[in-house]
Amino acid sequence: MRRIFRYLEPTFFAGLIEDPCLVVRDRPIHRSIMLDCGSLHHLAKRELKPVRAIFVSHAHMDHFMGFDVFVRQVHASPRTVELFGPPGFAQRVAARLSGYDWNLTEPYWCTFLVHEVHPQQLVSFEFPGPEGFPCRRLGERPREGSVIYRCNHLEVAAELFDHGIPVLSFRVSEAKLFSVDEDKMAALGLVPGDWLRELKRYFSADWRTDRPLWVLRRQGEVEVEEPVASAAALYHSIRKEWEPSGIGYLTDIGFTEENREAAIRFLSGVTLLVGECAFLSEDRHKARTSLHLCTDDVNELLEVLRPRFFLPMHLSKTYLGRSSELYAELVPPQGTTILHLPEHVAPRPLFACEVPLYRI
């Protein structure tokens, strides 16, 4: 896919009917986050090493089974990896980690920091590797809006949906960017200088400062320093306009009125929507019974959300060899492009006859 983000680089490491895994790379710092980890056995180690946070929609095995592969690759690295999941998620992580023996731990092993996303608060737990990954509750803190994670050039928001169990949808956005327009500065007589670095510090602190800002302004042939009444107002008058981009991730929700309204409210304005489309329209009843989406549901959401790009995923395996029917039934609104996936991207499983036999 051609580059549509300034800093984000999304890669979907699954085929249309395979277990989902979306990796979003923060390009300038070569770090990544992961959304769901259904199947990871086919990912190169260098794709897993940069991952600093994993966001799991829910703990059904097709969305969480690959966590063991991730642990295998990174557990002996000196780092802290954060995990986010719905209520009860820490117990699921504890069950996975306690299923192995950790009698040969080292002091430099990684630590997992797990956050359960509840409607009003985040509840955090620690799993320190040097001690064999025991589960320790750290406490809870109130949620301030929908954003649950910020790091460098990206932030992640989360919203709870109903799938018979709580399920999380995620929205990955490029963090706010400090950027000034030289033409706007020149029109106001402003001269570049150290004050721009100070203005950027105010910007990064959300303008929470009492210190005055002194700017350099040209008056005729002379450059003079003068204070400004509001650093925030000055920045808004000289900032470079840019359209923020975001990635929506929506999977495993029933098409109820509550879920529909929440999805429209939460995902409105995303540039790329990665969303499940589990059933064709002929099997709408199966979608309702299993609390998934069918193509009719997806078309209705696309008509309202109108993302620039839509990547369908998580098609039921009962449609093996019929993926063309899915794309035929998706009718995007004007301005939305459907991105196509092959049914499989992971290597084909081996048969016994393909493995060399060594006889002694």
Which tops the pLDDT comparison, 359 or 348? 348
- Asked if 61 and 54 count as a contact pair (C-beta separation under 8 A), the reply is no
Which tops the pLDDT comparison, 336 or 211? 336
Instruction: Flag whether pLDDT at 359 surpasses 60.
Output: no
Can you give the C-alpha Rg of the chain in angstroms? 24
Instruction: Flag whether pLDDT at 1 surpasses 50.
Output: no
Instruction: Flag whether pLDDT at 132 surpasses 90.
Output: yes
Instruction: Flag whether pLDDT at 180 surpasses 70.
Output: yes
Between the alpha carbon of residue 24 and those of residues 65, 79, 239, 347, the distances in Å are 19, 19, 27, 22
Residue for token pair 């359209």: 243
Region 274-292: what's the mean pLDDT?
Answer: 97
> From edge to edge, which strands make up the β-sheet containing 246-250?
147-151, 154-162, 166-174, 246-250, 272-276, 309-313, 337-338
CA distance 216 to 132: 57
Region 310-336: what's the mean pLDDT?
Answer: 96
In the prediction, which pLDDT does 138 show?
97
In the prediction, which pLDDT does 105 show?
96
Lowest mean pLDDT segment, chosen from 51-55, 106-110, 166-170, 239-243? 239-243
Region 325-334: what's the mean pLDDT?
Answer: 97
Chain centroid to CA 177: 18
CA distance 169 to 262: 10
Pairing of strands 121-128, 136-142: antiparallel
- Asked if 35 and 55 count as a contact pair (C-beta separation under 8 A), the reply is yes
Beta bridge partners of 246: 173
Residue 289's CB is within 10 A of a number of other CB atoms, namely 11
**What confidence tens digit (pLDDT) does each residue in 341-355 have?**
999 998 888 888 888
Region 271-285: what's the mean pLDDT?
Answer: 97
In the prediction, which pLDDT does 358 show?
66
* CA-based torsion, 349, 351, 352, 354: positive or negative: negative
Lowest mean pLDDT segment, chosen from 17-31, 124-138, 225-239, 309-323? 225-239
- Asked if 294 and 330 count as a contact pair (C-beta separation under 8 A), the reply is no
Question: Which of the given ranges, 28-32, 148-152, 159-163, 174-178, has the highest pLDDT on average?
Answer: 159-163
CA distance 81 to 71: 10
Q: What is the pTM of this model?
A: 0.87
Lowest mean pLDDT segment, chosen from 104-108, 220-224, 298-302? 220-224
**What confidence tens digit (pLDDT) does each residue in 235-256 have?**
989 988 766 689 999 999 999 9
Residue for token pair 């949906």: 161
- What is the phi-psi region of residue 291: left when phi exceeds 0, alpha when psi lies from -120 to 50, beta otherwise? left
- Asked if 141 and 121 count as a contact pair (C-beta separation under 8 A), the reply is yes
Residue for token pair 């493995």: 355
Region 215-231: what's the mean pLDDT?
Answer: 88
Which H, E and C letters describe the chain, residue by residue?
Answer: CCCCCCCEEEEECCCCCCCCCEEEEEHHHCEEEEECCCCCCCCCHHHHCCEEEEECCCCCHHHHCCHHHHHHHHCCCCCEEEEEECCCHHHHHHHHHCCCCCCCCCCCCCEEEEEEECCCEEEEEEEEHHHCCCCEEEEEEECCCCEEEEECCEEEEEEEEECCCEEEEEEEEECCCCCECHHHHHHCCECCCHHHHHHHHHHHCCCCCCCCEEEEEEECCEEEEEEECCHHHHHHHHECCCCCCEEEEECCCCCCHHHHHHHHHHHCCCCEEEEECCECHHHHHHHHHHCCCEHHHHHHHHHHHCCCEEEEECCCHHHCCCHHHHHHHCCCCCCCEECCCCCCCCCCCCCHHHCCCCCC
